[in-house]
Amino acid sequence: MVKELIKSLLGEKNTARVRRLKSSINAAKSTWHTLSTPQNPRDSLNVRQLISVHMLEKALAVGNMKYLSAVKYPELISNISRLIDMGLPPDDYTVAVSAAIIRSALAAIHGHEDEKSQLEALVSDRKIPAQNFRGGAEVVPSAEILKHTNFDFHAFVSSRHSVRKFRDKVIPSPVIREIVRDALYCPSACNRQPFRVYYSEDRGKIAEIIKLGADGFIAAGVHDCLIVTCDRALQNPAELDDQEYVNGGIFLGYLVMSIHAHGLGSCLFQCLRSSMVKQDRIRRAFGISQSEVIVCCVGIGELEDEVSVACAQRRPVETVAISLDS
């Protein structure tokens, strides 16, 4: 697509210039990716470990005993110790969930007594709270999954609107944490959950978030705002680019619906990707790491008695849901 765009601007005869420009664009993109994703050994090990233990969970869920028996458990157990030696605390998510998942996998297969002893010794010596983390697979009756589905979902999602004017109140921290807790049940690649939601109850900091994260009149009635990021450090460099926006976008969908379910309004300020300068300003202002991509800022607030919103007519469903059978 880049090549065709450049051709349309320069003409078909300028093929050498097209190649040079395309190469420069790709190099710049690669450089930006490298600079924004520090190749930290701990981060690299962290993401490898998360992918590996999630593969164990998937194997347990589908009963793939051949895979489970072939896993190099000593390496995975050693990685837990290495991550702690690299500075992660024993109750860090990757450390504790790894121990919980590996314990479940070893319990499901015969043998491997040395690895089981090694893991239990590590958990005890390093005081890893593996018992507080769920890991492995479980059997859930379908009735349990379906018992919460008997409600009018269409009415729920269609009653949510993008609201740009709220009561002049700051949402308390406990409410924000409940909203984020529920949004974290969204799917993410290999359950890495690379999301962060930055918030404050300090009106000065909130005003700075709004100033940096929203443009013009759309923020005039917003008195509280969240910063949503996705950490590239939890993305394998070999993976497709832009995964932070794929995973971050899924999380945002759950987040705004969680906000709605908690009786509050929201509006997404999606103006950041095109401005690396603005992203850097936000990072510097709030101490956000360079590895985190700022996916979006979210205005949030308590609704007034009456709310004026854009009609935002949805497309006809037949133009979006395309049958491959016709």
pLDDT in tens, 209-248: 998 887 655 678 999 999 999 998 888 766 656 888 899 9
pLDDT in tens, 128-141: 999 999 999 999 99
Residues 17 and 91 in one domain: no
Q: How many CA atoms lie within 13 A of 180 on its CB side?
A: 19
Q: How confident is the model at residue 35 (pLDDT cuts 50, 70, 90)?
A: very low
Concatenate the DSSP letters of all residues of 19-78 into one string. HHHHHHHHHHHHHHHHHHS---HHHHHHHHHHHHHHHHHHHHHHT-HHHHHHS-HHHHHH
Which of 90, 78, 89 lies closest to 45, judged by CA?
A: 78
Q: Is residue 122 part of a domain?
A: yes
Mean pLDDT of the chain: 88
Q: For residue 18, what pLDDT is reported?
A: 57
Number of domains in the chain: 3
Q: How confident is the model at residue 114 (pLDDT cuts 50, 70, 90)?
A: very high
> Does the pLDDT value for residue 75 go beyond 50?
yes
Q: For residue 31, what pLDDT is reported?
A: 43
* pLDDT, mean of residues 35-45: 72
Residues 46 and 32 in one domain: no
> Does the pLDDT value for residue 167 go beyond 60?
yes
* pLDDT, mean of residues 191-203: 95
Residues 286 and 191 in one domain: yes
CATH (domain of 202)? 3.40.109.10
Q: Which domain holds residue 122?
A: 41-132
Q: For residue 30, what pLDDT is reported?
A: 44
Q: For residue 270, what pLDDT is reported?
A: 77
* pLDDT, mean of residues 271-283: 73
Residues 126 and 196 in one domain: no
Q: Is residue 248 part of a domain?
A: yes
